[in-house]
Structure formats: C-alpha cells, structure tokens
Amino acid sequence: MGRSVVRLLLSGLLLLLTVGTIGARPAAAHGQLLQASPGPGQKAGGLVDFIDLAFLEDATDAVVAVTKDGAPVPGTTTVANGRIVRFAFNPPLSAPGRYDVTFTATWLDGDRVTEAYYFTYDAAAPAPVHIGSVDTLPQPDSGWSSVRIVATVVLITAMFGLAALYVLQLERRRSRALAEGPGLPAGRPARGDPADPSPSHRP
C-alpha cells in the first residue's frame, strides 16, 4: 500500500508541475491590441492620413497593410517597433467605404502573428486622433502573478515530497518488522533462558 501511495503522490506532483508551468506563462502570449485609431468597426472622417495601433507588449518588425475592395491602399509603416505602431497613408483617404487593416509583428515569445480588423471612411464622420504616449496605455503584466503561481507550486511540491518521505519511512519500518519476525511480549524471557518459568525449565 505504501508504494501505491508514493506512486499517487508522484503522479500528483507531476500534474502540479505541468499546471504550474502552463500557468506561469505570460498573460499575453502574443501582443494584445489595446487601442487603434481609426479603431475596429469605427467610422472615421475628415482628414485620415494615419493608423495608430497600441499593444499590451512591444511589437518587433511590425508591418501594416491596408486594402479596399481587395486592392492595396498606398501607405507606409512609419513606426515598426514598440508598443505603438504607426502607419501613414499617402495620399490621405478620400474614397468612402470599408478599409481592411492587416498587421503582422513578432512578439515577446518569438512568434510572428498576423491579425486584422476594418474601419469605414465617411467624410462626415469625426476625424480620428493620434494615440498618445506609451505612458497612457495599460501596463503589461509585471510578472508577480507568475511568481505567485510558481511559489505555490514549489510549496505544494515540498509538501508532497515530505509526505512521500514519511510514507517511505513507514514502509521501511514495516518491512524491517516483518523481516525480524514477531517480537516477544515485554518482560518475557526468551525460551531456553534459565529465568523462563515454563515447565520444561523447572528443576
């Protein structure tokens, strides 16, 4: 039974380590789009000569492309690195309708991911405004949540380890007791000892 308990404890330990490893990954495995101008589904009017994209984490080598009815819209990615990526139209938009925005970037985990959204240009709609500095954006996960997860896993691992050692000690004692055979009652002399009061040793 002791070995079964040990196997059960080790299985639980392996499960905890697996869950802890998964839970310790950053909250945003890929950059999360926090804000865009013009934004997803938004109607933009007036002078629209830019797109700003703000992310939860730094983007690297970002590329922004815009199409209308499947045809490329002239423009250039002017800022490709950092939490705010910028794209400039050349010339500014003038044709009303839907514009599809596709952006590709490399994120902190090394993956290069492409995402997309659309906005609509309507000359009568409000003009978009630039996204401000990075200081105005929500800050990325500081990592403390991951630290707490890892610390919890380590603590539970230590508890499982102590429990496993205790069970092993009990198993060893039990095995030693079986190997030595049943003991004599306390204070009873061994058979054959002169102090043994059994009839075979009386004068």
8 A C-beta contact, residue 80 and residue 33: no
pLDDT digits (tens, 9 = 90+) for 103-142: 999 998 899 999 999 999 999 999 999 998 888 788 765 5
Q: How far is it, in rounded angstroms, from Cα 59 to Cα 108?
A: 8
The two tokens of residue 56 are: 């939860």
Taking phi first (over 0 means left), then psi (-120 to 50 degrees means alpha), and beta for anything else, what does residue 61 get? Answer: left
pLDDT digits (tens, 9 = 90+) for 1-19: 555 655 655 666 566 555 5
8 A C-beta contact, residue 54 and residue 33: yes
Prediction pTM value: 0.58
Tokens 């403390």 found at = 144
Provide the 10 A C-beta neighbour count for residue 52: 20
Out of 16-30, 44-58, 78-92, which region has the weakest mean confidence (pLDDT)? 16-30
Q: How far is it, in rounded angstroms, from Cα 23 to Cα 55?
A: 22
CA atoms within 13 A on the CB side of 108: 16
- The DSSP output letter for 188 is P
Cα 114 to chain centroid, rounded = 21
Phi/psi of residue 147, nearest 5 degrees: -60, -40
